[in-house]
């Protein structure tokens, strides 16, 4: 099961676009839209007004969606205009629209009389089958202002089981009883109010979140291998590095918009992804989000420490602040062996600094009279070894690199040499990858293989 997080924020997102608090202005805080998820490209978990456009920004079509599950009728979770968008395409495939009355009543007037849409009204305690998914409907503690009919979803398919638990305060006793022994692969639990505990609403703050996760562990719903992801996050939380540290005490982590969580059976084994982009394009943050759902990650940092360079030190600090405390960092330019023997997921950041270090090692820059025959042979041998290790890596791996083909021509011979070699390296890694993503202005563009 693949769960793409279209949004992980509260109704006002995080940062709140009108706010100047410390949490909203922190440079380490990721931009989050309203919480929603796309499962296996065929099922939407909540579909607020931002969800369709979020899917487009992440280069995912909603044309294959056959099921939409709403948790409740609040406007950040129900965007009925999505049904009108679908109607305008002349879609003839059936679509299930599932949810409590507070959600479905908002949707019925947005469909045409001949649209192949089946509305399925549910309440806590129901169990339904939607395509490949067995869905149990569970009680939430939320939404008295929209009828008090908010629900949560326990969903199972092909050896994978997840719990979608937004929005809700501390779970009702009947829900704790229903999930006992579930052993979920992933739990997506709302955590709206952070350190603000006097909100008086049916949401989680950080102490309540920790208590709920503890109870889920006690009853066997959450195990040591469960990926516990905090969603519906707001600016009442501390900045992301602090939030990550607090959540880790519960064995949880904050979700990120655009991250993919994979659970249960997969069909492809290890995957190799190359993320390209220019300066400040968002390539490193996107690469980190791709692996955010992995239980363990080794971060291969090839840039090293540059003494006397405060700007570089600040870049390194921000990168480290974004990464979960559970990630292991290895600072090295000798990455081939790390790739070949990886026990778990790897993130290589970046190919450009790796290549620079290898060119330094082989004294490629020495001399001003051009390159003698054979000077580049050791560099090409290193590239050969890296590509072979990349291809043979037994674990999921993501590499970050600079896209150098569309910039100005470097004014020096050494600059042009580096550009050409990095272009060769990028092309060879791309050819050995399952997916190649180009980041442009923070937005990922997936590049076809042909």
- Which class for 407: exposed (0-12), middle (13-18), buried (19 or more C-beta within 10 A)? exposed
**Quick check: 140 and 72 in contact, CB under 8 A?**
yes
Strands 95-99 and 67-69: parallel
Is 319 a catalytic site residue? yes
Dmax over Cα atoms in the chain, in whole Å? 79
Q: Which residues contact 91 (CB under 8 A, 6 or more apart)?
A: 63, 115, 116
CB atoms within 10 A of CB 55: 22
Please give the torsion angle defined by the CA atoms of residues 408, 414, 419 and 423, in that order, rounded to the nearest 10 degrees. 160
430-442 burial code (b ≥16 CB/10 A, e <16): bebbeebbbbeee
**Quick check: 204 and 250 in contact, CB under 8 A?**
no
Helix (H) or strand (E) holding 284: helix 283-290
Check 203, 232, 319, 380 and give the catalytic one. 319
Q: Hunting for tokens 């995912």 — which residue is that?
A: 60
Give φ, ψ of 111 to 5 degrees. -120, 150
**Quick check: 274 and 401 in contact, CB under 8 A?**
yes
Q: Hunting for tokens 């970050």 — which residue is that?
A: 400
**Quick check: 240 and 15 in contact, CB under 8 A?**
no
**Quick check: 14 and 29 in contact, CB under 8 A?**
yes
DSSP β-bridge partners for residue 156: 134, 161
| Contacts of 305-312 spanning 24+ positions with Cβ under 8 A | 305/331
Instruction: Tell me the catalytic residues.
Output: 319
């Amino acid at each position: 099961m693949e769960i793409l997080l279209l949004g992980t924020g509260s109704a006002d997102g995080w940062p709140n676009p009108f706010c100047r608090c410390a949490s909203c202005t922190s440079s380490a805080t990721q931009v989050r839209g309203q919480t929603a998820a796309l499962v296996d490209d065929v099922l939407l978990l909540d579909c607020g007004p931002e969800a369709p456009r979020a899917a487009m920004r992440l280069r995912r079509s909603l044309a294959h969606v056959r099921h939409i599950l709403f948790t409740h009728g609040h406007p950040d979770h129900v965007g009925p205009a999505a049904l009108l968008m679908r109607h305008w395409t002349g879609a003839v495939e059936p679509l299930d629209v599932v949810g409590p009355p507070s959600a479905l009543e908002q949707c019925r007037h947005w469909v045409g009389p001949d649209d192949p849409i089946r509305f399925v009204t549910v309440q806590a305690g129901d169990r339904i089958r939607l395509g490949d998914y067995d869905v149990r409907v569970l009680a939430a503690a939320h939404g008295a202002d929209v009828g008090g009919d908010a629900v949560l979803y326990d969903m199972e398919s092909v050896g994978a089981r997840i719990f979608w638990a937004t929005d809700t305060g501390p779970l009702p006793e009947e829900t704790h009883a229903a999930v006992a022994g579930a052993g979920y692969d992933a739990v997506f639990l709302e955590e709206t109010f952070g350190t603000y505990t006097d909100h008086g609403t049916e949401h989680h703050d950080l102490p309540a979140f920790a208590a709920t996760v503890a109870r889920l562990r006690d009853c066997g719903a959450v195990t040591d291998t469960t990926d516990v992801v905090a969603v519906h996050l707001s600016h009442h939380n501390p900045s992301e590095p602090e939030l990550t540290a607090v959540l880790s005490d519960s064995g949880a982590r904050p979700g990120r918009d655009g991250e993919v969580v994979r659970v249960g059976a997969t069909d492809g084994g290890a995957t190799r992804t190359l993320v390209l982009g220019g300066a400040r394009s968002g390539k490193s943050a996107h690469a980190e989000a791709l692996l955010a759902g992995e239980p363990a990650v080794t971060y291969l940092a090839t840039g090293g420490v540059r003494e006397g360079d405060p700007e570089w030190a600040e870049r390194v600090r921000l990168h480290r602040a974004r990464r979960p405390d559970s990630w292991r960092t290895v600072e090295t330019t000798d990455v081939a062996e790390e790739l070949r023997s990886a026990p778990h997921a790897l993130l290589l950041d970046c190919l450009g600094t790796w290549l620079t270090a290898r060119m330094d090692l082989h004294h490629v820059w020495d001399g001003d009279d051009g390159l003698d025959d054979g000077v580049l042979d050791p560099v090409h041998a290193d590239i050969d070894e890296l590509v072979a290790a990349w291809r043979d890596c037994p674990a999921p791996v993501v590499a970050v690199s600079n896209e150098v083909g569309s910039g100005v021509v470097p004014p020096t011979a050494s600059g042009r040499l580096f550009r050409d070699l990095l272009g060769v390296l990028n092309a060879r890694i791309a050819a050995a990858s399952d997916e190649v993503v180009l980041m442009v202005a923070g937005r990922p563009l997936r590049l076809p293989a042909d």
